[in-house]
Chain A
Amino acid sequence: MSASTRRPGGITTANALPLAFSWLILAVVIVLLAFVLYMTFVPSLPTEPGFTLKHWSNVASSRLLTRVIPNTAIVGFGAIFVGAFFALPMAWLLNRTTLPLRATFTTMIGITPVIPGFILAMGWIMLLDERIGLLNNVAASLLGFSSIPLSVKDSPWGIAWVLGLILAPAIFFLVAGPLCRIDPSLEEAASVVGMRHLTTLRRVTLPLVWPGILGGLIYVFMTAVSIFEIPALLGAASGKVPVLASEIFYSVRPGGPLTATFAYGAAGVYGTLLAAPSLVALYVYLRVLERTERYQVITGKGYRPRETDLGGWSWIGVGFVVLYLALAVGLPLLVLLWASLMPVLQMPSREALSKLSFTNYDGLFEGLGGFGVISNTVVLVLSVSLFVSFFSFMVSWVVVRTQAQSRKLMDMLVMVPHAIPSLAFAFALAMLGILASRWLPWLPLSGTLGIIAVAHVINRMPYGTRVMNSALAQVHRELEECAQVCGTKTPTIMRTIILPLIKPSVIYLVVWTAMLSFQEVTMALFLSGPHNNVLSVSIWVLWEGGNLGTAAAGAVAMVATTGLLMFGILRLAGGPTAGLVGREVGAAPLTKSQ
């Protein structure tokens, strides 16, 4: 036996492995961030010499100030407004009242994020458009007008409406968490003291939950303004409604109607503009969270919040939730299904029914890009979910299981991709790819599946570590220590003790990550080349190319695949994993789990 010689209190060999992997993934995050900033000071590509501030001075350009930033603001705030309009009443209805079918509704809201947002946007174009919109046509024929000039396309308000519907689940779960966890005894105490209901809400309930809600709303705002593909479908691609996200995209991938040349520096500036406020917000939010935790106002478990009995009003509540689900999921998917079965989109009628056919599906396989795209998608989805699970496990191990001094810092750093718009990361990666192709020709990055995988992995790390943190925190420390005393080293303990114990959470994380990687478009499109197209990108490209019928067929096929896979895997994995859906899905993305 040999004694290892290390300073007492230092890092023992047992933690070296998880620490190394954790720093590896975090180093990638830090390098990419620094790179975005660096790009804003070089004239063009970093391969060329020079230093310039002109990208920053260009921010004051009139186009940006008069069109892009106002549009982006409308999209961001509008989406929050629409989302909150649906999410806040639903959060209260499904968590603090005796509404029937609450669990089912919560699960349904929980799984809507696996339905690709751009597919829902496609559905909404078919629903609400002055020329082809089915809702417009129905309303016009009922009211006797020739057309209804209302459209989700070509207006920032239309983008805000669709994004709001898509992001409502995020707001729902952000609010539901604190709503469930407020200790009812606090509220009761307040009402005993004689505060009236509204006063209680204002003076007691809100101060307890606002940090969580505020942080969440910032997150939703940042998500809304950094999604590219939905604004692009709804008017940014045609140049009618430019937003920051589309500016970045077309600066790096010219071909849009506006910029004919590369403008990397400008894209870097836009990326920084998107990233800086949310980083500050994340920091403030984490600090506030720490303080509230110290006061222990929100207690953990072991009681049920007080529930209001709606009595005869229940059906209105149910109606509201059903209305949301119909608007956000039901109608868009139905109209896509209908469109996929029609040679040319038209109103449902007896005549239309006679034209029902599967012709759109016939050309689907080739239209999407054939076997190459399918295999790309499978490889991407599998590798992303495996890597995310692996790295999340390692980071959470360090954070939850060790006394390493860096663990607090690590827990914060791994949340950074949550605040940085995915587009900024995609941008940095695209730049690195271009550089690598010049400097390190042997390193295949640009235009490969690998670069998309890296982007997806980084993007999903914050969520992965939240799931793993709470899973690991539930494994009693002594279960692991006992194995150490029994003579086994950390890697063996992870394999034989920890992983079997947290299996449901791991399966859940793998499935959920795979689903979200499957439907992601913004980064995959940004980083796409001739050989690394995935399914979601192909559908998007089909739609942009005007093949609405085939695109609709592809969308239906994609949603069906998602549904089947999710259902099948969760059935196979059994009860404990399935039970996590709806609970974990909703775990507020920013809440710390210890």
Chain B
Amino acid sequence: MIRVKNLRKTFLTKQGSQAAVHGAEFDVAEGEIFMLLGPSGCGKTTTLRCIAGLETPDEGEIWIGEQLVFGDRGGTLLPVYKRGVGMVFQSYAIWPHLTVFDNVAYPLVHGIYKAPKREVKGRVQKALSLVGLERFEDRPAPLLSGGQQQRVALARALVYEPKVLLLDEPLSNLDAKLRAEMRIELRALMKRLNITAIYVTHDQEEALVLSDRIAVMHAGEIKQIGTPRDIYVKPQNDVVAGFIGTANLFSASITAVPRNGEEGSVSTPIGALACPLPPSVAVGQPVTIMFRPEDVVVRASQAGPSQNSLCGVVEQAVFVGSRLQCVLSVQGHKVHCEVPKSQLVETGQSVVVEIPRHAIHLLP
């Protein structure tokens, strides 16, 4: 449905040129919710704006449906108003001089999505009821709360039934509780309408909950594309691992490769660890290993023989409600882990740390 090829965009500023996006490449299937995730300033908005036509890329190709809307060869550039996409801006861009009804009706009254007069009212009402704002038609836009403005922006982007919806951090201006509710609601709505969406966010939780597939961006490049589970469980590099959730990352070297039912093992700064290894590795090869805090098991003392057990000292333990987040010191290195709230852990306490071998993931 959407295809982006080798997208490049450089901004010329007084300080020099700034490569906002270089070489972004992805496909979005019909009906898919595709997430652009990355820290602030990594080029997500720029990518989205290039697709909408609000920025002109320096290089690359952009297809929407069967149509080439931008191509560096042949110099195709389809103007914004002909691209047939809906967009929700980060600022919501609600026109303050219009009422809610007039805001949502705008695309049907002016421009190329103009509808016959008699249809306008019905379609606006339908769009408003989709987002649960039926009774707010006559409200002047400045009198809306943040959440309501976000809904108006969404209704306005949906009212002309675009095939593609672009959303730029639509929930970032809401408070935490509302944000959590809206995530689920938004996903349900988009799935119900079977709309193809590109969604930009810097919030990894939002990305994991909302999306079908995620592209993790960093400094203008796409670092990995995959399903939320893939991205979380099998990050392809330390940038992705570090950005999604908390990760314990250690450089390691291979000490034994798996052979005849024996397991492979690596030596790391925190000690020797047994872990699953792909067959292609060789002894002595330097690698990076990663494991998640919630997979680490922490015990007060050694309970029988077990694999991958290390000794450590609790440096920090923070109670966050559902569990305790701890930082342990193992051989002088920090290891992040999570402990159930029922378990008592104190700063300074000596503990035994077990890292289950299937929790260890090797970064290629």
Residues of A within 8 A of B (CB): 1, 3-9, 12-14, 294, 476, 478-479, 481-489, 492, 496-497, 500-501
> What residue of chain B has the Cβ atom nearest to residue A483's Cβ?
B106
List residues 49-106 of chain B with CB under 8 A from any CB of chain A.
Answer: 52-54, 56-58, 67-70, 72, 74-87, 89-91, 93, 95-97, 106
List chain A residues, Cβ under 8 A from B113: 486-487
| Alpha-carbon gap, A482 to B49, bound state (A) | 11
Q: Which of A6, A482, A488 has the most CB of B within 10 A?
A: A482
List chain A residues, Cβ under 8 A from B93: 476, 478-479, 481-482
Instruction: Contact check, A5 vs B74: say whether CB atoms are below 8 A apart.
Output: yes
Instruction: Contact check, A486 vs B107: say whether CB atoms are below 8 A apart.
Output: yes
Instruction: Contact check, B52 vs A485: say whether CB atoms are below 8 A apart.
Output: yes
| Alpha-carbon gap, A14 to B97, bound state (A) | 23
Instruction: Contact check, A476 vs B91: say whether CB atoms are below 8 A apart.
Output: yes
> What residue of chain B has the Cβ atom nearest to residue A492's Cβ?
B110
Query: Separation in Å of the B128 CB from the closest CB of chain A?
Result: 16
Instruction: Contact check, A484 vs B81: say whether CB atoms are below 8 A apart.
Output: yes
User: What 14 additional pairs, Cβ within 8 angstroms, besides A478-B93, A483-B110?
Assistant: A4-B77, A4-B78, A6-B77, A12-B79, A13-B79, A476-B91, A479-B93, A482-B156, A487-B81, A487-B110, A492-B110, A500-B97, A501-B95, A501-B97
Query: Separation in Å of the B138 CB from the closest CB of chain A?
Result: 18
Q: Tell me if B177 counts as interface (CB < 8 A to partner A).
A: no
Q: Can you name 12 A-B pairs with beta carbons within 8 Å?
A: A1-B82, A1-B84, A3-B78, A4-B79, A12-B56, A294-B14, A478-B93, A479-B93, A485-B54, A487-B160, A496-B106, A500-B97
| Alpha-carbon gap, A478 to B91, bound state (A) | 7
Q: Tell me if B16 counts as interface (CB < 8 A to partner A).
A: no
| Alpha-carbon gap, A483 to B91, bound state (A) | 14
The 10 tightest CB contacts between A and B, nearest first, are A488-B111, A487-B111, A482-B93, A486-B107, A478-B93, A487-B112, A484-B80, A478-B89, A485-B87, A487-B113
| Alpha-carbon gap, A483 to B81, bound state (A) | 8
Instruction: Contact check, B95 vs A487: say whether CB atoms are below 8 A apart.
Output: no
Name A485's contact: one of B67, B72, B75, B85 (CB within 8 Å): B85
| Alpha-carbon gap, A101 to B146, bound state (A) | 40
Name A484's contact: one of B54, B68, B76 (CB within 8 Å): B54
> What residue of chain B has the Cβ atom nearest to residue A486's Cβ?
B107
List chain B residues, Cβ under 8 A from A6: 75, 77
> What residue of chain B has the Cβ atom nearest to residue A503's Cβ?
B97
Query: Separation in Å of the A240 CB from the closest CB of chain B?
Result: 54
Query: Separation in Å of the B20 CB from the closest CB of chain A?
Result: 14
Instruction: Contact check, B95 vs A8: say whether CB atoms are below 8 A apart.
Output: no
Instruction: Contact check, A478 vs B74: say whether CB atoms are below 8 A apart.
Output: no
Instruction: Contact check, A8 vs B77: say whether CB atoms are below 8 A apart.
Output: yes
| Alpha-carbon gap, A443 to B69, bound state (A) | 47
Instruction: Contact check, B72 vs A8: say whether CB atoms are below 8 A apart.
Output: yes
> What residue of chain B has the Cβ atom nearest to residue A8's Cβ?
B56
Residues of B within 8 A of A (CB): 14, 52-54, 56-58, 67-70, 72, 74-87, 89-91, 93, 95-97, 106-107, 110-114, 156-157, 160
List chain A residues, Cβ under 8 A from B76: 3, 5
> What residue of chain B has the Cβ atom nearest to residue A497's Cβ?
B95
| Alpha-carbon gap, A5 to B75, bound state (A) | 6
Instruction: Contact check, B89 vs A482: say whether CB atoms are below 8 A apart.
Output: yes
Query: Separation in Å of the B78 CB from the closest CB of chain A?
Result: 5
> What residue of chain B has the Cβ atom nearest to residue A12's Cβ?
B79
| Alpha-carbon gap, A486 to B108, bound state (A) | 9
| Alpha-carbon gap, A71 to B110, bound state (A) | 61
Query: Separation in Å of the B295 CB from the closest CB of chain A?
Result: 42
List chain B residues, Cβ under 8 A from A487: 81-82, 107, 110-114, 160
| Alpha-carbon gap, A209 to B88, bound state (A) | 43
Instruction: Contact check, A12 vs B77: say whether CB atoms are below 8 A apart.
Output: yes
| Alpha-carbon gap, A13 to B77, bound state (A) | 10
> What residue of chain A has the Cβ atom nearest to residue B166's Cβ?
A485
Query: Separation in Å of the B337 CB from the closest CB of chain A?
Result: 43
Q: Knowing A1-B82, A12-B77, A492-B111 are in contact, say whether A486-B160 is a contact too (CB < 8 A).
A: yes
List chain A residues, Cβ under 8 A from B58: 8-9
Q: Knowing A483-B106, A486-B111, A488-B110 are in contact, say whether A8-B87 is a contact too (CB < 8 A).
A: no
| Alpha-carbon gap, A485 to B111, bound state (A) | 10
List chain B residues, Cβ under 8 A from A5: 74-77
| Alpha-carbon gap, A7 to B70, bound state (A) | 10
Query: Separation in Å of the A248 CB from the closest CB of chain B?
Result: 41
List chain A residues, Cβ under 8 A from B79: 4, 12-14
List chain A residues, Cβ under 8 A from B89: 478, 481-482
| Alpha-carbon gap, A497 to B52, bound state (A) | 20
List chain B residues, Cβ under 8 A from A479: 93, 95
List chain A residues, Cβ under 8 A from B14: 294
List chain A residues, Cβ under 8 A from B110: 483, 486-488, 492, 496
Query: Separation in Å of the A486 CB from the closest CB of chain B?
Result: 4
> What residue of chain A has the Cβ atom nearest to residue B90's Cβ?
A478
Query: Separation in Å of the B180 CB from the closest CB of chain A?
Result: 25
| Alpha-carbon gap, A500 to B140, bound state (A) | 14
Query: Separation in Å of the A484 CB from the closest CB of chain B?
Result: 4
Instruction: Contact check, A489 vs B78: say whether CB atoms are below 8 A apart.
Output: no
> What residue of chain B has the Cβ atom nearest to residue A294's Cβ?
B14
List chain B residues, Cβ under 8 A from A496: 106, 110
Query: Separation in Å of the A480 CB from the closest CB of chain B?
Result: 8
| Alpha-carbon gap, A8 to B157, bound state (A) | 27
> What residue of chain B has the Cβ atom nearest to residue A13's Cβ?
B79
| Alpha-carbon gap, A497 to B94, bound state (A) | 11
> What residue of chain B has the Cβ atom nearest to residue A501's Cβ?
B97
List chain B residues, Cβ under 8 A from A4: 77-79
List chain B residues, Cβ under 8 A from A294: 14
List chain B residues, Cβ under 8 A from A486: 81, 106-107, 110-111, 113, 156, 160
Query: Separation in Å of the A506 CB from the closest CB of chain B?
Result: 13
List chain A residues, Cβ under 8 A from B112: 487-488
Q: Knowing A6-B77, A485-B87, A487-B112 are in contact, say whether A501-B96 is a contact too (CB < 8 A).
A: yes
Query: Separation in Å of the A141 CB from the closest CB of chain B?
Result: 63
Query: Separation in Å of the B90 CB from the closest CB of chain A?
Result: 7
Query: Separation in Å of the B231 CB from the closest CB of chain A?
Result: 29
List chain A residues, Cβ under 8 A from B157: 485
Query: Separation in Å of the B246 CB from the closest CB of chain A?
Result: 34
> What residue of chain A has the Cβ atom nearest to residue B153's Cβ?
A482
| Alpha-carbon gap, A6 to B96, bound state (A) | 34
Instruction: Contact check, A485 vs B91: say whether CB atoms are below 8 A apart.
Output: no
List chain B residues, Cβ under 8 A from A478: 89-91, 93
List chain B residues, Cβ under 8 A from A9: 56, 58
| Alpha-carbon gap, A66 to B323, bound state (A) | 93
| Alpha-carbon gap, A497 to B112, bound state (A) | 16
Query: Separation in Å of the B159 CB from the closest CB of chain A?
Result: 9
> What residue of chain A has the Cβ atom nearest to residue B86's Cβ?
A485
List chain A residues, Cβ under 8 A from B68: 3
Query: Separation in Å of the A401 CB from the closest CB of chain B?
Result: 12
Query: Separation in Å of the B136 CB from the closest CB of chain A?
Result: 19
List chain A residues, Cβ under 8 A from B106: 483, 486, 488, 496
List chain A residues, Cβ under 8 A from B84: 1
| Alpha-carbon gap, A497 to B110, bound state (A) | 11
Query: Separation in Å of the B123 CB from the closest CB of chain A?
Result: 14
List chain B residues, Cβ under 8 A from A497: 95
List chain A residues, Cβ under 8 A from B74: 5
List chain A residues, Cβ under 8 A from B97: 500-501
Query: Separation in Å of the A567 CB from the closest CB of chain B?
Result: 26
Query: Separation in Å of the A129 CB from the closest CB of chain B?
Result: 55
| Alpha-carbon gap, A559 to B108, bound state (A) | 50
List chain B residues, Cβ under 8 A from A13: 79
| Alpha-carbon gap, A486 to B74, bound state (A) | 27
> What residue of chain A has the Cβ atom nearest to residue B57's Cβ?
A8
| Alpha-carbon gap, A492 to B160, bound state (A) | 18
| Alpha-carbon gap, A294 to B14, bound state (A) | 10
| Alpha-carbon gap, A501 to B93, bound state (A) | 13
| Alpha-carbon gap, A489 to B58, bound state (A) | 23
| Alpha-carbon gap, A3 to B65, bound state (A) | 14
| Alpha-carbon gap, A489 to B110, bound state (A) | 9
Query: Separation in Å of the A351 CB from the closest CB of chain B?
Result: 62
| Alpha-carbon gap, A7 to B68, bound state (A) | 15
